[in-house]
């Protein structure tokens, strides 16, 4: 619990630190992705089982999204943040001693849950401190940081794996979280004015209201399916590129960096076009942009041999198109419940991540060296996106141009 006073925070410090907290959430999964084949080989497990490591991280992140917001509202931002970073640091170091996959899976679950905590508290610190235009600027920094993590993490992770092996990823996690812990301890005061005690009856009513909103559920399902398209590359890509094609982890890291840049370029293009086209039009463009290259990938997998270009080029287009789908679905989702934004945000984030965890588990069952299976899965996800959009979302979306922010 907290008292009803709060210590002023230096706005510039917060504008610097809060995005760094979001970057930790963004790299928690993607940094170790290039090491999946090496971990599988080192621990004597199958490639399919190794791919479940990503699922475990996502499950932890989803659970954290659902739980941590309530704790931060009751016990305070600073306490939850410091505790989360300290445990994250210790858990990351413990991974270095893991000799079996079971304990490492526990580490990944805890890392995911604690990374969700840093992301949620970072957003809460912004809301506590800034209003109006300043809050919009802070939110944009958080969004950029969230996007930067998955872009740079596989690139860095590829080099860490190449030169020092998979343990180096967890030294990197510990170093980054330790630095954030020190900075947060000295520069982040408590910003919560009044503790909010959880009320089960009110919470249950709000949850029922949220899940009964058809457009909300459509947006959540669409976000989960769209991000799952990106996850295919993180889960299966290391094995196709490193094990089947014989390239190094560095090449995988470069390919992942290219796809991250594609998504970033898509989000920038979407932001520019928001002034001129409606949300419905933007989503339609993004969905078509996902369907066409995945259909082309199936054709290539059926009639041609796997190559780096036949894998990466369609994924590049899919990631660029995702820059139109994911932000618009998320923005519409966030606008539906302004009076209970905290609960809605937690349910949105938690539901998306848990659905992605299920999809990741299913994707991990794909035959590691089968290009046609990977291409078919991506085409299936693209078709499901269109079904969800047509059934749950399109009838509820007004065909109007969004106002520029």
Q: What pLDDT, on a 0 to 100 scale, did the predictor assign at position 405?
A: 32
304-340 tens-digit pLDDT: 989 999 999 999 999 999 989 988 887 787 678 766 6
How many CB atoms lie under 10 A from the CB of residue 282?
A: 24
Where do we find the tokens 């996850």?
A: 231
Instruction: Give the phi and the psi of residue 401 in degrees, each rounded to 5.
Output: -80, 130
* C-alpha neighbours within 13 Å on the C-beta side of residue 251: 16
- The sign of the CA dihedral 288, 292, 295, 297 is negative
Q: Are 301 and 371 in contact (CB under 8 A)?
A: yes
* Whether residue 163 has pLDDT greater than 90: yes
- CATH 3.30.10.20 holds for 1-198: no
Enumerate the domain spans of the chain: 1-198, 201-395
pTM over cut 0.85 = no
Pair 62, 117: CB distance under 8 Å = no
Is 404 a residue whose pLDDT tops 60? no
Look up residue 371 and give its two tokens.
């290009």
Mean pLDDT of 337-358: 76
Question: Is-same-fold flag (1-198; 201-395)?
Answer: yes
DSSP run (H or E) holding 330: helix 308-335
Q: Does domain 201-395 have CATH number 1.20.1250.20?
A: yes
Ordered alpha helix ranges (H), 9-164: 11-30, 36-43, 47-75, 77-95, 101-129, 132-164
380 pLDDT more than 90: yes
Q: Which of 84-93, 268-277, 298-307 has the highest mean pLDDT?
A: 84-93
């Amino acid at each position: 619990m907290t008292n009803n006073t709060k210590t002023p925070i230096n706005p510039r410090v917060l504008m610097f630190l809060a995005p760094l907290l979001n970057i930790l959430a963004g790299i928690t999964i993607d940094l170790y992705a290039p090491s999946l084949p090496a971990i599988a080989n080192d621990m004597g497990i199958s490639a399919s089982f190794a791919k479940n490591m990503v699922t475990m991280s996502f499950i932890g992140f989803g659970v954290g999204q659902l739980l941590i917001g309530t704790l931060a509202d009751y016990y305070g931002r600073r306490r939850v943040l410091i505790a989360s970073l300290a445990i994250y640091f210790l858990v990351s170091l413990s991974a270095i001693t893991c000799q079996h996959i079971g304990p490492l899976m526990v580490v990944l679950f805890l890392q995911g849950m604690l990374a969700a905590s840093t992301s949620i508290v970072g957003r809460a610190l912004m809301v506590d401190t800034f209003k109006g235009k300043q809050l919009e600027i802070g939110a944009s920094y958080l969004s950029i940081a969230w996007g930067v993590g998955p872009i740079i993490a596989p690139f860095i992770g590829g080099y860490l794996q190449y030169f020092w092996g998979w343990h180096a990823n967890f030294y990197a996690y510990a170093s980054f979280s330790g630095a954030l812990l020190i900075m947060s301890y000295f520069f982040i005061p408590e910003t919560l004015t009044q503790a909010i005690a959880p009320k089960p009856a009110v919470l249950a009513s709000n949850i029922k209201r949220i899940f009964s909103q058809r457009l909300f559920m459509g947006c959540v399902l669409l976000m989960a399916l769209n991000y799952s398209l990106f996850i295919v590359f993180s889960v299966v890509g290391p094995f196709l590129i490193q094990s089947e094609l014989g390239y190094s982890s560095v090449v995988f890291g470069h390919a992942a960096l290219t796809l991250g840049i594609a998504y970033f370029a898509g989000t920038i293009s979407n932001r520019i076009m928001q002034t001129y086209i409606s949300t419905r039009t933007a989503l339609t463009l993004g969905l078509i942009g996902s369907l066409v290259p995945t259909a082309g990938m199936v054709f290539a997998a059926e009639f041609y041999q796997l190559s780096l270009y036949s894998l990466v080029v369609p994924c590049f287009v899919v990631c660029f198109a995702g820059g139109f789908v994911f932000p618009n679905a998320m923005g519409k989702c966030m606008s539906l419940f302004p009076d209970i934004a905290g609960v809605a945000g937690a349910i949105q984030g938690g539901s998306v991540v848990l659905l992605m965890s299920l999809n990741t588990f299913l994707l991990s069952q794909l035959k590691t060296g089968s290009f046609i299976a990977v291409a078919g899965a991506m085409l299936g996800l693209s078709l499901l996106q269109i079904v969800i959009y047509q059934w749950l979302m399109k009838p509820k979306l007004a065909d109007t141009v969004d106002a520029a922010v």
